[in-house]
Each structure stands twice: as C-alpha cells, then as structure tokens.
Structure 1
Amino acid sequence: MAYYVKYSDMKSGENGETLFYISDESGKRELWQMNLVDGKVSQVTYEEENIKDYWFEEHGVVLAIDHNGNERNQLHRLEGEGALPFIQEPDYFHHYGIYDEARGKFMLTRNHHSSAVFELCSYNRQEGLVILEEFKSPAYIKKQLGEETLLMTIDVDNIDKELYTYNMREGSLSKLPMPKGRFKSILLNSDDGPAYAVADWDDGYLNLYEVDLTDWSHVKVTSFPWDMEHFKLSGDGKSAVISVNENGCSTLYHYDPGSHEVQKVNFRADGVIHSMEWPDSDELYLLFSSTDVPHCICRLDMERKEQEIMLQNNGDIEEIRWRMLSFTSFDGLEVPYFLYEPKNGHGSVIHVHGGPESQARPEFNELYYRLYKEGITVAVPNIRGSLGYGRFYLKADDREKRLDAMADVVALRTHLIDRRDMNRENISIMGRSYGGFMTLLLVTHHPELWRKAVDIVGISDLTTFLHDTPSWRRDLRSAEYGFLGVHDKMFDEISPLMRAEYVKAPLMIFHSHHDSRVPFTESVQMAERMKNNGQDVTFTAYENEGHTFMRRQNLDNMNGKIIKFLVE
C-alpha cells in the first residue's frame, strides 16, 4: 500500500539556503533537509524514537525526543548523524526555551509527570541543571529580550495565558500589563522598531499587535474576523506576510508594516498553510496541504508572483469532491462542517475532532481520503467549543453545556439525512481524543442513531479521567469539563462508562500505553465493561505510541482496521 508522507515544522537554516522539516518518510518522524540551490533532500537524523521538535542555536541544533510518544521530551544536541542527550530526566517533561549565549546556558521549563509545579531552569555542563523559579501553572519561555530578560507565558486555563518577564540577573518575575488571552507568538523587528505579537487581547480573534517593549503598550493593527495563524517579516523588516484561518482554510496576505495595509496574495486558499519561511526578500516557502493535496513544500516568488512545488509527496492522488458547509443546530447556532462526498457513496461517517479547543480543517487526512476512495462519505464538523470562530463559540460547550456539543452532532446527522440525502440506517460515528469522548457520549445517549462507532484514545468517564490524568493537566482541563467535588453529579449523569449497557452499535476502540493526556485506563475500562455485558466491542492497544500516533506501521494498522470495519 502506498502511503502519504507527513511533513511538519518547516524551518529555514541559518544560511538561508536550506530548509529543514520533520518527515515520517522513514516510518517515523525524523529531521530532514532540502538544499534550496539544487533541490536535493536528505535525512539528517537516524533515531530510534520520533523527533518531536528542533531549534537552531549558536552552538548547533537542539532536538526534543521522547520515549514511545509519552511527550516527556528529553533534550539532545545534534552532532554528525547522532543525537547526544544533554538533559535526560525521564520522569520530567522538558519545554525548551532559548540558549543564553552571554551566560553559556540553556534556559527551559520542566515539570514532573506527577506534579502541577513547573520549574524555570538553567543548564550548562559545569553547573548542571539549576532551578531558578517555580510556578503553580504551566509556564513557558517565548523569547529572550536583550541580555537580561525572558518573555514568558503562564497558563490561566486551557485557553488563556498571561505574559510575564523574568530578569535573569535579578531573579525577579514581573507581570506585564496585557489582559489574559490567547497568545500565539511574538516577533522582534529591528532595534528601534516595534515588536509584533499575535494575540486575541481585544475581540476574541487572533490578530496582529504592535508592542512597545519599553512600556508594553500595544496597538492592534489588523482586524480579521478570523484567527491569524502565521506572521513572517522579510529580512529588512519592511514587508511581511500573514496567513489567516478563514473558516478552516488558510488565506495568504501581504502586510505593509509602515501603512498597515493588507493585500491578499494569489496563493490557493482551499487548504492549510502549516508553516512558512521567508529566508530572503523574494522567495517565500510554504508547507501546504489540502483534502486532495498531500503535504508539499511550495516556493512563491513574491516579486514575479510565480509559484512551484519544491517537494512533492509520495503516492498517486486524485481530485475529490468536497465542500465547506454549515447546518443549524437545535438552538439556532450555525455550525460549520466540511464534507467529503463521493459519487454513488454507500455509507457515511461523522468524525469529531479532538481538543475540544481545536479545529477540523481541510488539510490532507489519509484516513478521510481512503474512506472516500472506498465510497464512504465523511462529514467533519466544528461543533461548539471549536477554535477558529471567536471566543463565544469557543466557550459555548463549557461544563454544564457539554451535552449541547453532543446535540450539535445529532443535529448534523439529521441535516445529512434531510439535506444531503444520507441513508439514516448507515451513518456511523468516529472521533479521536475529545472526539472519542464525544463518540462514546453519542453511542450511550443516542444508541439508536449509529450503525458503527470508532473511539480513538477517548475519555470514557470524566471522573476517572480527571482523577488519573497528571495534576498539572487536571487543573487546566477542569476549567473546561468541570471540577471534581463540584460537578460530580453531572459527571455521573453523562458518563459513557456508567451507560455502557446502552451501546447498540459495534464499537472499535484504539489506545496506546504511553498516552500522557488521556490515560490508557479510560479505554480499558470501557472495553472491559462492554465485554462483560456481552456487547460487540474490539480493543486494539499499541505498545510504542502516545496520545498522537506517529509510527507508520501503527497508523497503517489502525487505518486499515477502521476502513474495513466501516466498509463492511
């Protein structure tokens, strides 16, 4: 079976003549590079585990590598073809920050897997790892400002962050005068120019702000009614490009920092720009995919307005029928979704994304594509609680409103039958992570609606989930789902585990032993409860994966089982 390579995390090398990216071409995620002069590609790392992230520093390349997908990243230096560890503490999650060249130290935050405390640390070979500050919420380094100051974010809840500075010389922490909100990135311009931040401080949408680093005053300079996803300055700081997530699709714009004028760039707007790099003033590189365009790297000549694909994906692909649509839910809320609709289809499935603070987008999804090729219609909604549609929409499913999100999926099913002529007897439900929880809610609260169901790393009971998930994650998730000791009655009333006996549809469950987000036991207890009831359930567990499956062998195994299950 031919498969489609996933590319991610594209970054420009120091000389501007090389693009680096993570690819699973070898069967797992490794670091690769492309020479922009001759177009040649080569594999950079050869590790047993997946490369999770990487950064360029003065001394070389820093790599984040975990064990079997457990997300406890350990830090390595890339030397030759080998990755040599320099911070190895398997019980800790390490969140890389910067390399402080003046002090010759790495700056990072870390947290023990069983603790809610985050620690700001420095590291060099002589002193080892030194703890500088402790935080009671997740804390991350975003940027170094001058020689003395770190810009940091501290999570307020699962959505909002507050900004702080940490003075490394004085060892002091100061809260900045920005309101709490979503904060995506900050980019420094020339020494005398403003900094640019992407945040939602004003109206609930991620937009561009100019920030004065002396008094931290800030002015919003774009007004998109959607979320901005990427912002890149040209080398001279006189020009910029912006990509905006407009109803799921990426739209590319040119931005003039002097006049604040925004002008749309002629680049396809029917997919997702995953990342972009602008190593020189003329050529912009975009990592792109769409429903029928597997991940590829494109070069866009900003002067001539010409574009070409520099790195093409593997495997044959053909154009598919898909569209962006919406439906009206039970309370009048307009809910967006996109639809893969094959001709002469013989069955359909609704797929609910994870998060819930996430968004389904028309990027290339190999499972959707293969289901479509088998004649299965795939409907992918962004039910209430999804990102991309403003703060009101994002908060519309919190706590006691959880079943309102479930009702969105029921309303979509009715819409597909009434407006898209789907066979009511042949509609299945599927979801991953939070989408797996939503799947289990739907087959236990509305068991008569579904032909089959697939739950991937889903929550089966909010009480056991919040009790067993790491304490630092529990605090954040409780703001979304509810709090132990406060919302216990609601948890019991809606619990799929408590209602397992009502499931009528054959259920297929997938999970992994090293999941650090949704405990493996969530799927074990659901599968065992149904087996003890004599119900139709199958359970597949992967020994070497975490919450996000990354090994090609496992992905092929899971996708093959799901396709066969839904097609039969």
Structure 2
Amino acid sequence: TRFGETNQIHWVKMPGGARYQLTFFDEPVSGAKMNPDPQTPGFIFGKDVGGSEFYQLFFFNLASGEYRMLTDGKSRNGASVWANQGNRFAFYTTKRNGRDWDIYVGSIKQPEDLQPVLESSGSWIPVEWSPDDARLLVRKYVSINESYYYILDLNTRKLTQVNPTSEKIGYGSAKWAHDGKGLYLTSDEGSEFRQLKYYDLATQKSTVLSGHIPWDVNAFDLSRDGKYLAFVTNEDGISKLHLLDLKTKKEIPLPEIPLGQIYGLKFNPDGTKLGMVLNTPKSPGDVYVLEMANNKLIRWTYSEVGGLRTENFIEPTLIHYETFDKVNGKPRMIPAFYYKPRGKGPFPVLIYIHGGPEGQYRPFFNSTFQYYLNEMGIAVIAPNVRGSAGYGKSYLLLDNGYKREDSVKDIGKLLDWIEQQPELDASRVGVIGGSYGGYMVLATMFHYNDRLKAGVEIVGISNFVTFLEHTKDYRRNLRRVEYGDERDPKMREFLIKISPTTNAHKITKPMFIAQGLNDPRVPASESEQIVKAIRKNGGTAWYMLAKDEGHGFRKKSNRDYYTHAVVLFLERYLIGNQTTKK
C-alpha cells in the first residue's frame, strides 16, 4: 500500500490494527513472499529503479529489520517461490542473454551460489514446489492463448510435460495437490473459458470442477491439508468467490461479499482462514479474512479516501451495444461499463480504452473517474472491445494480426450508441487509454477525428514496426505473436499502414501524450515521434515526460502532476465553455 510517495510493504497484526511500515524506499516495491520456515522469518520482495522493470530480488529479515539483494543487480528477475521447507527459493532471470527467462534455485543463506536448473529459449516461470520439494512445477508462456506446464525433476533436470497434446491451450493458474499425485489448474482446453480442473499425473486424465460455470476461473488457492479449494470466477467483469469441499466436491455457502473485484486469495497455514483483497467502485482495495469455522468475513484493513463521503461515489452500469458484425445471424454485442454523472446533462463523454491488448476493463475503485464524474460532470464509458479477455477465447482472437483495426471499429459503433443517448453530448466526446489502449486512442482519433474533441494517450504504441524493433528483447517474441511479425514483408507493410504515425495528418483535434523515459515495454521514442508528427502538421500536442518512470506513473508526485494536467486539458478541450446541468 502507499501512504507516501511509493508503494511499500506494511505489517498488520490484527483486524483493524495499526499498520506498521517495513520498507522505506524511493522506488516502489512489490511481491512480498513470506518464508514458510518460522525459524527464518522474512520475505522476498522485488524492486526496480526508475520504472525500468529490471527487477531485483531482496530478502527482508523480520527479526533484524535488515535486507539484502539476492540477484545480480543487472538482469530482470521475478516470480520467486519458496520451497515448502523454506530453505530454498526459485525464480526466473534473464541474466544469461537478456532475452530468455531461465529458472534458478538458491538459498538466502548463500545468495552468491544461485544455480540454474532450467536454461532454455522462451519465457519460463517457476510456479510451485512439489510437496516433497523434489520437483518444481514450471510454466512456459507463449501467449494468452498458448502456454505449457511442465514438471522439472530437480535431481535429474528432466522435464515432463503436463497434459501433452497437439492442441494449443491457454493455461492459467496451477497448484500441486497436497499428496503430490496430481495438479489443480485452469485451462481453456475444449472450452471457450478457462475451467478449473484436476489433473491426475498417473492417468494423465483431467476432471473438470467448474464446468457448470460459463465464465473464466481467474484465480484459486488450496488449503495445505487438501480439504478446501477457493476460486474466483470473472462473470462479465465482476468477481464471484466460490469455496469447494474437495472431499464432497460440493460448494460451501458463503457470507454476503461486496460486489466488486476479489484477488489475492490465500489460505493460512492450517487452512482455517482464507485471506483476500476486496475492491469495489466505491471503496479502495482492503484485506478481508474469511473464517472457516463460523463462515464470517472479517475486515482487516481500512483504506482512506481523504475524508470524502463514499456514498457519493458513482457505480457503473453494465451495458451492451451493437457493433458492425454479426454472430449466428444476430448483431455482435460489445460489453461496456457506463459511469453516469448525477444531473440532467447533456454530459460530455470520456471513453476509457484498456490496454493489453488482452486486458479487460473491470470496475475497480478509481478516484480519478470519481473526480471526472462528481466534479467535472463528465460521463465515463469503458468498453471491452473485441480482443479483450474474459469473454471466451474466440472473442480474444478477434483482433489478432490483420484484424487489428476491427477493435477500432467497435469504438466507432460506441460513438453511434452515444449519439442515441439523450443525456450524453455527442459533440463533446474524448478518448483516453494507456499502452495498447494508447494505440487505440491514437487510432480512434485518426479514424473518427471529426466525431471527437480530444484524446489522452499514455505510454502508447504509435508505430507497430518501431515498437517491435525497440521493445526490450525479452518481450519481442511475445508481442509478435499478438501483433504480427514485422520481419515478414507483407505484415510489415500492413503494420506501417495502420500505425498512427502514418496517419498522424488525420489528427487535427488536441492530444495529451504522457510517457515514462525508462519504459522497457513501449519506448519513449514511440511518444516522441507521434508528438513530433502531430505538431509538424499544425496540431496541438501536450507532452509530459517523467524521467524517473517507466510504463506508467507509479510515484505519487508524478501521478498527481499528470492527473492535474489532464484535468486542465479536459477542461480546456473537452468541456470547453459549456457546462452541464446538475
């Protein structure tokens, strides 16, 4: 949580107890992984410098309050996972060549003696140690639609594929069964959605556990004794918690849980409590604990909202609007979350486009949205255009490769929907988005320039070819799977054709561009070249460059400056001299 300039790690001893800050760095930290060995109390965390994403791993000793770096200080490292005995940990690193993710194992007592256990091409991630700590479950990630699980024998270094098949499968989470005889995992094998399954290692057969739920299982956790399995489904963008009795295979009734997002599922060591984070459009994320004995949900933390009255915050309505193509003879419907200000309108509109592109807008708490709604009278609409996750793997593939601009057409049809709403002002519509959402903002601006007033683009792609050529080595092949391979002449020609830099002359409405100088994903050159192109054509382009940030703004001072600048930009170019009735 962040009570100062950056996110740091805090300790809370009891429900509603005072927080005790443990780390005090200028840079944000993440991923506190507690050592299961009580004789060595402490946790591993990750930290980079200036948003570079070259994360280093550190061990924080809770007994002494001291910390030490475990990795080389140069490469990208992450996904640390403790052995069950707490004497070893595994993680991935790019230290071999800066491109491939190898897996290393080491001990906090001798971090200088880290040993590679898997060196191979591609992106490999350690997932979990087997109950006897002799094997390591690892994942090879290719794309959101294609990944592979393997079991690595730590003595022989032999890799054994889990569920070998010729079908491309998109796997999610996976965990060992408590007896080591099988795995619980999520996958879209034979289904549009990621289902929860049990995979028997001896028979190599899978049993579906969530087949009755036509939505993705986003996350799950197992109690250490193997009695319970908790999982969260993503149902049209809203989280729903399920608790399964693994002996009876029946769901256990749960107390009422606030409608919103649920993440960070974790059973305590003896399986009597289930921790989670709950986040709603009206309240920031807070830690809750479900006590299994009495089926009560206990709140542990109380996030602050600066003295504001949360009952005045506005919740979105889930809508669906028709787009340009059909499914089974009927118009395809695009889901979107619509935040409507109080009052009569007509309200100016800001369309928020998520990144990814395989992301999904889900209604988390967003203080900036609430400011737009309550203080500026701006309606916010967040669509999940084709290519978004959460709606089945066929929907996810609808914008790949040469179908890239079909998702932009979905925004065009949203503009049609806005024109039909009497409370909305179709003459005052803007777009905002970051990363791939930044590309979507630029593409929407040049395709529908005459229907828009302004655009805000954060760390966005302005030219697919230069992006693919200059994104960091360890990301390049992953992005080629999604966008296309720029080394292929035909694909290169297409990518250049649809890139915003090629079409910048069509953008005549004001733009706000924001960028982190150290961005390893979308280099700062992507923002600089589109700003230059728009200005060269006589257009208006505000440009903010944060020199100590990367892919987005994580430091409060930079975030505040950006937020205030965007408010000023929207006041001038979206709202203009018009006011809405309240």
Fold shared by both chains (TM-score > 0.5): yes
What's 1:476 paired with? 478
Amino acid at match of 2:81: I
TM-aligned CA deviation for residue 323 of structure 1:
0.7
What's 2:70 paired with? 86
Per-residue CA deviations over 1:496-536 (Å, capped at 9, x if unaligned) read: 00111111210000010111111111001111122222210
Whole-Å separation in 2 of the counterparts to 1:39 and 1:500: 54
Scaled by the length of structure 2, the TM-score of the pair is: 0.88
Classify the secondary structure of the residue corresponding to 2:529. Answer: helix
Matched, 1:142 2:127: yes
Matched, 1:185 2:169: no
Contact persistence 2:15–2:300 (CA under 8 A): no
Whole-Å separation in 1 of the counterparts to 2:59 and 2:180: 34
Amino acid at match of 2:450: E
Q: How does 1:67-216 map to 2 (within 5 A)?
A: 67-79=49-61, 80-90=64-74, 92-100=75-83, 105-112=88-95, 115-124=98-107, 125=110, 128-145=113-130, 146-179=132-165, 180-191=168-179, 194-216=182-204
For residue 290 of structure 1, the aligned residue among 263, 280, 283 is: 280
TM-aligned CA deviation for residue 311 of structure 1:
1.5
Contact persistence 1:114–1:470 (CA under 8 A): no
Classify the secondary structure of the residue corresponding to 1:392. Answer: helix
What's 1:4 paired with? none
Query: Relative to 1, partners in 2 of residues 1:267 and 1:252: Cα closer, same or farther, differing over 3 Å?
Result: farther
Contact persistence 2:57–2:71 (CA under 8 A): yes
Amino acid at match of 1:325: I
Contact persistence 2:513–2:541 (CA under 8 A): yes
Contact persistence 1:252–1:264 (CA under 8 A): no
Q: How does 1:90-489 map to 2 (within 5 A)?
A: 90=74, 92-100=75-83, 105-112=88-95, 115-124=98-107, 125=110, 128-145=113-130, 146-179=132-165, 180-191=168-179, 194-223=182-211, 224-234=213-223, 236-262=225-251, 265-268=254-257, 270-279=259-268, 283-315=273-305, 316=308, 317=310, 318-331=312-325, 332-344=331-343, 345=345, 346-373=347-374, 374-419=376-421, 421-486=423-488, 487-489=491-493
What's 2:566 paired with? 562
Query: Relative to 1, partners in 2 of residues 1:40 and 1:189: Cα closer, same or farther, differing over 3 Å?
Result: farther
Whole-Å separation in 1 of the counterparts to 2:102 and 2:291: 44
* Count of residue correspondences: 545
Deviates most, 226-235 or 390-399 = 226-235
Query: Relative to 1, partners in 2 of residues 1:88 and 1:141: Cα closer, same or farther, differing over 3 Å?
Result: same
TM-aligned CA deviation for residue 182 of structure 1:
2.6
Whole-Å separation in 1 of the counterparts to 2:373 and 2:16: 37
Per-residue CA deviations over 1:46-73 (Å, capped at 9, x if unaligned) read: 1222112121223431111111121111
Scaled by the length of structure 1, the TM-score of the pair is: 0.90
Contact persistence 1:274–1:286 (CA under 8 A): yes
Query: Relative to 1, partners in 2 of residues 1:326 and 1:517: Cα closer, same or farther, differing over 3 Å?
Result: same
TM-aligned CA deviation for residue 199 of structure 1:
2.5
What's 1:36 paired with? 14
TM-aligned CA deviation for residue 112 of structure 1:
4.9
- Which ranges in structure 2 are unaligned for 5 or more consecutive residues? 326-330, 573-582
Whole-Å separation in 1 of the counterparts to 2:194 and 2:78: 24
Classify the secondary structure of the residue corresponding to 1:426. Answer: strand
Whole-Å separation in 2 of the counterparts to 1:371 and 1:313: 21
Query: Relative to 1, partners in 2 of residues 1:205 and 1:126: Cα closer, same or farther, differing over 3 Å?
Result: closer
Whole-Å separation in 2 of the counterparts to 1:83 and 1:192: 33
Contact persistence 2:430–2:452 (CA under 8 A): yes
Query: Relative to 1, partners in 2 of residues 1:117 and 1:240: Cα closer, same or farther, differing over 3 Å?
Result: closer
TM-aligned CA deviation for residue 543 of structure 1:
1.3
Classify the secondary structure of the residue corresponding to 2:414. Answer: helix
| Identity in percent | 25
Whole-Å separation in 2 of the counterparts to 1:231 and 1:545: 32
Contact persistence 1:251–1:264 (CA under 8 A): no
Deviates most, 463-472 or 388-397 = 463-472
Contact persistence 1:45–1:82 (CA under 8 A): no
Contact persistence 1:324–1:339 (CA under 8 A): yes
- Which ranges in structure 1 are unaligned for 5 or more consecutive residues? 1-22
For residue 522 of structure 1, the aligned residue among 499, 523, 526 is: 526
Whole-Å separation in 2 of the counterparts to 1:286 and 1:100: 22
TM-aligned CA deviation for residue 85 of structure 1:
0.9
Amino acid at match of 2:367: E
Amino acid at match of 1:418: Q
For residue 25 of structure 2, the aligned residue among 23, 27, 47 is: 47
Per-residue CA deviations over 1:81-140 (Å, capped at 9, x if unaligned) read: 3431121332x1112443458895543221159743232323453863433432221111
Matched, 1:56 2:58: no
Matched, 1:493 2:497: yes
Contact persistence 2:16–2:300 (CA under 8 A): no
Whole-Å separation in 1 of the counterparts to 2:143 and 2:290: 38
Query: Relative to 1, partners in 2 of residues 1:252 and 1:132: Cα closer, same or farther, differing over 3 Å?
Result: closer
Contact persistence 1:251–1:269 (CA under 8 A): no
